[in-house]
Amino acid sequence: MAGRSTDLMDVRELLRHLRSISSDRAVARTLGLHRKTVLRYRIWARQQDLLSDTPLPALDELQDLVQRTLTSPPPPQTVSSVEPHRDLVVDLRARKVEVAAIHQRLTERGFTGSYDAVYRFVRQLEPRTPEATVRVERAPGEEAQVDFGAAGKLIDPVTGLLRTAWAFVMTLAFSRHQYVEFVFDQTIATWIRLHVNAFASFGGVPERVVCDNLKAAIVVALRDDPLVQQTYRECAEHYGFLIDPCRVATPEHKGKVESGVHYVKRNFLAGRASSRLPDANVAVREWCMTTAGERTHGTTFAQPRIQFETIERAALRPLPLPAYDLAIWKEATVARDCYVVFEKSFYSVPFRLIGQTVRVRGGSQRLQIYTTDYALVATHPRATAPGERHTHLDHLPPEKIPGLLQTRDGCRAAAQDIGPATAEVVETLLSDPALERLPTVGRLLRLREAAGDERLEAACVRALAFDDPRYQTIKGILDDGSEHAPLPEPAHAAPANTFARNAHELLGHLFGGVQWT
């Protein structure tokens, strides 16, 4: 017992042996003590008349005797190298100066000691009183605690490669019954899906869910007024549970699930070879019902699964109907083309919101777009493949809409309605073998909006007369108002079988003046 704190029961037991066994060596061997320790206590007991046949003193009397006569001298105290600077350190700490800065100030004054020496000195100046904690037990169905824990590497069934996996654990606070599932990410969609799976496994919903401050669950970790992600809020509203975030850096506030995560690591994962993720999930569900569910819990001294099935299951709230439609909320910026991107697909938004931030709610069948004030501005069917584009024409600037609707056949029909010359110009443009002229034809036909059909037809007639059926030419004719100007007279060619001079006049000198009639 030398060199360690004296336990009163140890001293009493030693006195009993000293009274009955004469040999210090035998006493030392029996009690596992050093022989010199036994000798020291024999001398002390003899001095206090404790080896006689009289009854040993009562415990409180023996305690007083030990403290008065057997207290070991205090160990020699070493003087801290910071002691000469005590006044300066006290002053700096009073001004809330950090230990590292104090060490720097002392070094500037010639101090050669270490940072650890300063840290120990400050700890002696400011001893901390341990804070008392109170264990809180929950009623059946009142609370569940959730968390993620690292699960090592599991095989991705898609790629066949090892990936970092996580264990999601939901623990019912009363029974300690658990739901465990392994996943490859901690996204908000996965977070919600795991809640849905856990509630389905339990067959009900607790009143409150205590969650860690994960990115998926909490936007800003505040204790009293948490800004919870809208996605998680909708899930909570559908199932009827309250979200109860822990304070930052206080995992003891959800100790039941923290213990559950550790138990999964120690018991299920420890020493287990890497397996495919689906296989691991099948195995861990069986483990929850048998190994974990049938053990005697170290705190409740009851079997979690039995407690759940006989007491807590009936206290859970029933699962709501219809089934939860997982909807993800995200913020997006409206691009110049009047679209937002949500999970690699495109959805139109009214053009007045270009450049603004909107909030997108993507459900399994429907996508809704809101302003930051939650005014609904667009609803679309949910895309089924990446790259899909969903458009409402009234979201686009009116002057841009016609160009989106035009087709080759539609342009031909519109040109026929205007007139034959316009139809001929349109057909000429659409017949270009090298260039796509449909946009040009669209611009040509839109000239009727300002000029009218009659003027456009006249301009096309004039362009054809000059053999120049180009868009720029026709627009120029309309701009200068020359569509009704007189057309140039066509040149009159000589008949093909007549000549300006007869044969004698043309060829007579070649034949010596011979005349032909």
Euclidean distance between CA atoms 463 and 473, whole angstroms: 7
CB 307 within 8 A of CB 351: no
Structure tokens at 213: 């401050």
Structural domain boundaries in the chain = 8-69, 84-123, 143-315, 328-401, 406-479
Token pair, residue 67, equals: 């403290």
pLDDT per residue of the chain (517 residues) written in tens, 0 to 9: 544 445 777 888 888 888 887 788 888 887 888 888 889 899 998 888 888 888 888 888 888 888 888 766 555 556 788 999 999 999 999 988 889 899 999 999 999 999 999 999 998 888 877 777 666 778 999 999 888 778 889 999 999 999 999 899 999 999 999 999 999 988 888 888 999 999 999 999 999 998 865 554 443 433 444 445 778 888 999 999 998 876 554 545 545 544 667 788 888 887 788 899 999 999 999 999 998 898 888 888 899 999 999 999 999 999 998 888 888 888 999 999 999 999 999 999 999 999 999 999 999 899 999 998 889 999 999 999 999 999 998 899 987 777 666 788 989 999 999 999 999 999 999 998 888 888 899 899 989 989 999 999 999 999 999 999 999 999 999 999 999 998 877 655 555 555 556 655 655 555 555 555 5
Q: How far is residue 403's CA from residue 442's CA, in Å, rounded to a whole number? A: 7
Contact 89, 122 (CB under 8 A): yes
Specify whether domain 143-315 bears CATH 3.30.70.270: no
For 458, the token pair is 């006249």
Residue found under tokens 């040993």 = 56
- HSE on the CB side for 198, CA within 13 Å? 27
Assigned token pair, 264: 């999964």
Residue 220 neighbours by CB distance under 10 Å: 12
Question: 37 near 28, Cβ under 8 Å?
Answer: yes
SS3 195: helix
Gap between the terminal Cα atoms of the chain = 162
| Alpha carbon 486 to its chain's center | 74
In order of 12, 18, 37, 422, the CA distances from 40 in angstroms are: 15, 12, 5, 125
Q: Which of 487, 515, 495 is nearest to 503 (CA)?
A: 515
- Please compute, for residue 326, the number of CA atoms within 13 A of its CA located in the half-sphere on the CB side: 11
Measured in residues, the chain has a length of 517
Paired residues of 148 in beta bridges: 168
Written as one letter, the residue type at 305 is R
Within 8 A by CB and 6+ apart from 376, the residues are 368, 369, 370
Instruction: List pLDDT tens digits, range 300-329.
Output: 889 999 999 999 999 999 999 888 888 888
Backbone dihedral angles phi then psi of residue 321, each to the nearest 5 degrees = -120, 145
